[in-house]
Amino acid sequence: MNSLAVCLDGSAPAYHLRPGFGSGAKNWHIRLEGGGWCESSSACATRAKTSHGSSKLMSNQILFNGILSNKYSVNPDFYNWNHVYVRYCDGGSFSADVAVPALYFRGLRIFRAVVKHLQTKGLSTAKQALLSGCSAGGLGVVHRCNEFKYLLPNANVKCLSDAGYFVNGQSIRGNFAMYNYYKGVVNLQKLQNTLARACTSAKDPVQCFFPQQAQGYIRQPTFFVNAAYDNWQLENVKEISWRQYSPCMRFASCFHAKTLQAFRQNLLNGLFYAQSRAGWGTFIDSCFSHCQLEVDIKWTRPRIHGKSLAKAVGDWYFGRSQSTHYIDCGFPTCNPTCVKYPLMSTST
């Protein structure tokens, strides 16, 4: 791979590959790992000493479940595809290309190097290709979708963001915690140089890091999967602790019900653009969850209007349904198919 495509600590990037078979051997699914961000030199230096900053500390094996599963019963539309799980070690949603003393922010180069390396393994002749990611990886999908198509001009390319639609909203404390955090990420990693130029030339680069603005520059069909009550965002965007919002899992009249409903509405307002685009899709369930595609039960069980997440994504990708937008009811307790806490991931 490119010698400049390195993790925060300078170690080589990494991915896990499970080869496809049968009729799926020419189809590829690239999945970007999530894991938050780092907004300061000290935070990134600490991160560089973990598996989210150094490939030297990563596990050699992972589980391929949910949308990565090779079981037809779990994953009927993608079970026999080539599946690649790209490890996340740059702290900037696969978007930066700069180095500072002792740290390397090379997520953009990592993405390019991995895709080009996979092209030597058969990706270059892909018929169908799907780029997906969870959380920070889901945000990476938003920013790398166009480039994925550019690198695979002959494939049918679509993009799928799982829990990557981070809202720029006001917290219950009256501040904009996520904006302030992203401001540190953007400034430290100089993302104004790598985000969509049409956006940064006209708008605040920090705003361009958020999906609300970035989605307007995606040219490929894109599908957003998000829980209307994303528990990571409740804790980090709205700054509500689990102890404060957990009663809402059982009682729609909980103390923070209005706050939660306002968060849901803010999310839906931002997704109005995606819902107006031909070929795009959304699946917004009323679960308290964060990242739903990598766990079998969360991929197959939650339903909106009788349709599972797995079926909705498959129908959208293969164009089997004219309806590609699934919006759940607005009360926290209205969907009995949601997977209950603590199976919900809080990892970004």
Chain segment 268-316, per-residue pLDDT in tens: 999 999 999 999 999 999 999 999 999 999 999 999 999 999 999 999 9
Q: Is the pLDDT of residue 344 over 60?
A: no
Task: Report if residue 334 sits inside a domain.
Answer: no
Q: Is the pLDDT of residue 345 over 60?
A: no
Task: Report if residue 1 sits inside a domain.
Answer: no
d(Cα 166, Cα 88) in Å, to the nearest integer? 18
List 135, 161, 289, 345, catalytic entry: 135
- Is 290 considered catalytic here? yes
H/E stretch holding 18 reads strand 15-18
Cis peptide before 342 (omega within 30 of 0): yes
Could you count the other beta carbons within 10 Å of the beta carbon of residue 134?
A: 30
Comparing CA positions, the residue from 187, 198, 178 lying closest to residue 135 is 178
- Is 230 considered catalytic here? yes
Task: Report if residue 52 sits inside a domain.
Answer: yes
Q: Is the pLDDT of residue 180 over 50?
A: yes
Where does the pLDDT of residue 184 fall: very low under 50, low under 70, confident under 90, or very high at 90 and above? very high
What per-residue confidence (pLDDT) applies to 348?
Answer: 61
Task: Report if residue 348 sits inside a domain.
Answer: no
What pTM, to 2 d.p., does this model score? 0.96
Task: Report if residue 167 sits inside a domain.
Answer: yes
Residue with tokens 């391929």: 64
- Is 204 considered catalytic here? no
Q: Is the pLDDT of residue 192 over 70?
A: yes
Q: Is the pLDDT of residue 341 over 80?
A: no
Mean of pLDDT values over 318-337: 91
CB distance 199 to 170 below 8 Å: no
Task: Report if residue 340 sits inside a domain.
Answer: no
Three-state SS sequence of 122-164: CHHHCCEEEEEEECHHHHHHHHHHHHHHHHCCCCEEEEEEECC
What per-residue confidence (pLDDT) applies to 283?
Answer: 98
Q: What percent of the chain has pLDDT over 70?
A: 97
Where does the pLDDT of residue 249 fall: very low under 50, low under 70, confident under 90, or very high at 90 and above? confident
pLDDT tens track for 131-156: 999 999 999 999 999 999 999 999 99
Expressed as residue numbers, the domain containing 183 is: 15-327
Task: Report if residue 338 sits inside a domain.
Answer: no
Ramachandran region, residue 102 (left: φ > 0; alpha: ψ -120 to 50; beta: rest): left
State how many domains the chain has. 1
Structure tokens at 28: 């590829």
List 97, 230, 285, 328, catalytic entry: 230
DSSP string, 63-106: ---GGG---TTT-TTTTTSEEEEE---SSSTT---EEETTEEE-
Residue 303 belongs to a domain with what CATH number? 3.40.50
What per-residue confidence (pLDDT) applies to 253?
Answer: 87
Task: Report if residue 347 sits inside a domain.
Answer: no
Residue with tokens 């839906």: 268
List 83, 256, 290, 325, catalytic entry: 290
pLDDT tens track for 91-132: 999 999 999 899 999 999 999 999 999 999 999 999 999 999
The one-letter code for the residue type at 80 is N
Comparing CA positions, the residue from 140, 39, 25, 54 lying closest to residue 93 is 140
